[in-house]
């Protein structure tokens, strides 16, 4: 079958991970300390997409993609409180205009993990006032670029931001406190609602949020494991989506893995025989489950990230074919899925994993892997 007319076939990236020299961000400082990034690297150069963005668009074109999800970096737009950099705004406008000229639809993410230093030094999203500051930045961007953006995503993966940065301590700012992580989650929800209202007052195109959806299954068929699954699913998914479900025009789903959850040790274990380069299981039927489970919110769904760290490009071709199989299955069952963004366009700075996790259809020096052709052929097969 062909996917619905207007379906978006694209890739996703994030500014801090590809642009290079995002020097006014908290992550720029965080990366400098030994032991925080597994290969000792930094994002100083990354993919140099700040300068080579035209080459990035050429990669999208060469694989017949009609959509691109990327982020605008708050720290570039507002390097100091209340000081907006019009040159940075114009830089992003040039990118957006060129994408529009190429008939490539855009989804712009406004917060993808990196904060301006001046926000971080006042507590970041632990500070209740940050939500208003974020909403003001979103409103500013909406006024400046609303005419050239097709879809807006306020926040990327609030769950990952809360857990990795404030419970596990592997992301900036490296805190390890359960109650702090819960507070961050609540504050991010409030920030999204404020940003949604501000953006909707100045833009006409849809505004949504991007959630990381892991699929949890009981390790054993008993009451305790089944109950534990319900608790984890609530904490990791429902508690983030339910409070904002009336303040989003669509739901972005990032799906990567399924996890066995048990009441005894080990309490969490990846499901899947094939293991990717950073130890995650590869089980693509969870993509179908993620879509079906989240139809309860009655929102259009975009798969905003789905990828595999696979330096040898051994598993990615089948991974992509499986993704389209399960997308087709979900659409046949009536799911309102409107787009698929592969993570990622090219290998990049993968946060704490540095450059060791290679998710790209292309390498960092923009050479195509065989999976780039596989993706192109799938797009040609399923698009009108």
pLDDT at res. 275: 78
Assigned domain for 311 exists: yes
Candidates 19, 31, 78, 157; catalytic one: 157
Is residue 1, in this structure, part of any structural domain at all? no
Q: What does the alpha-carbon distance between residue 281 and residue 96 come to, in Å, rounded to a whole number? A: 35
Active site residue 157: yes
Tell whether 2 is covered by a domain. Answer: no
Q: What is the pLDDT of residue 251?
A: 98
In a domain, 129, yes or no: yes
Name the residue range of residue 183's domain.
8-382
Tell me, yes or no, whether 309 lies in a domain.
yes
Looking at the 3D structure of the chain, how many domains does it have?
Answer: 1
pTM above the 0.85 mark? yes
Q: In this structure, is residue 213 part of a structural domain?
A: yes
Beta bridge partners of 152: 108, 207
CA distance 123 to 300: 34
Q: Which two tokens stand for residue 366?
A: 């923009």
pLDDT in tens, the chain (384 residues): 999 999 999 999 999 999 999 999 999 999 999 999 999 999 999 999 999 999 999 999 999 999 999 999 999 999 999 999 999 999 999 999 999 999 999 999 999 999 999 999 999 999 999 999 999 999 999 999 999 999 999 999 999 999 999 999 999 999 999 999 999 999 999 999 999 999 999 999 999 999 999 999 999 999 999 999 999 999 999 999 999 999 999 999 999 999 999 987 768 899 987 778 999 999 999 999 999 999 999 999 999 999 999 999 999 999 999 999 999 999 999 999 999 999 999 999 999 999 999 999 999 999 999 999 999 999 999 999
- The reply to whether 3 falls in a domain is no
How many of the other CB atoms lie within 10 Å of CB of 75? Answer: 25
Active-site residue (options: 73, 139, 211, 305)? 305
- We report the CATH number of the domain holding residue 160 as 3.20.20.80
User: Which token pair is 130?
Assistant: 């940050």
Q: Is residue 376 part of a domain?
A: yes
Return the structure tokens found at 222: 């008993």
State residue 267's pLDDT score.
Answer: 81
Helix and strand counts by DSSP (H, E) for the chain? 14, 11
């Amino acid at each position: 079958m062909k996917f619905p007319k207007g379906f978006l076939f694209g890739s996703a990236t994030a500014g801090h991970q590809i642009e290079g020299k995002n020097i006014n961000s908290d992550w720029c400082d965080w990366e400098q300390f030994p032991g925080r990034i597994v290969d000792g690297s930094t994002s100083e150069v990354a993919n140099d997409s700040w300068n080579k963005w035209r080459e990035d668009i050429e990669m999208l074109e060469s694989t017949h993609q009609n959509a691109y999800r990327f982020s605008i970096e708050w720290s570039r737009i507002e390097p100091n409180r209340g000081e907006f950099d019009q040159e940075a705004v114009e830089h992003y406008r040039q990118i957006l205009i060129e994408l529009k000229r190429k008939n490539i639809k855009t989804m712009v993410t406004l917060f993808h993990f990196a904060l301006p230093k001046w926000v971080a030094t006042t507590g970041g999203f632990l500070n209740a006032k940050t939500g208003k500051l974020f909403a003001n930045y979103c409103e500013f961007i909406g006024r400046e670029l609303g005419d050239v953006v097709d879809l807006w995503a306020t926040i990327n993966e609030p769950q990952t931001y809360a857990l990795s940065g404030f419970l596990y301590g592997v992301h900036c700012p490296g805190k390890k406190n359960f109650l702090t992580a819960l507070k961050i989650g609540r504050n991010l929800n409030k920030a999204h609602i404020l940003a949604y209202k501000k953006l909707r007052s100045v833009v006409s195109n849809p505004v949504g949020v991007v959630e990381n959806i892991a699929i949890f299954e009981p390790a054993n068929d008993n009451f305790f494991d089944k109950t534990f699954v319900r608790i984890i699913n609530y904490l990791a998914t429902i508690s983030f989506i339910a409070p904002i479900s009336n303040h989003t025009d669509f739901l972005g789903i990032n799906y990567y893995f399924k996890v066995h959850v048990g009441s005894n040790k080990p309490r969490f274990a990846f499901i899947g025989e094939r293991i990717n380069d950073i130890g995650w299981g590869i089980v693509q039927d969870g993509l179908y489950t993620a879509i079906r489970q989240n139809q309860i919110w009655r929102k259009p769904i975009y798969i905003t990230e789905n990828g595999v760290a696979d330096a040898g490009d051994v598993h990615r071709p089948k991974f992509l074919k499986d993704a389209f199989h399960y997308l087709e299955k979900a659409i046949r069952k009536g799911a309102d899925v409107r787009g698929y963004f592969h993570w990622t366009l090219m290998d990049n700075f993968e946060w704490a994993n540095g450059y060791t996790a290679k998710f790209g259809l292309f390498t960092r020096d923009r050479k195509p892997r065989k999976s780039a052709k596989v993706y192109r052929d799938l797009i040609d097969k399923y698009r009108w």
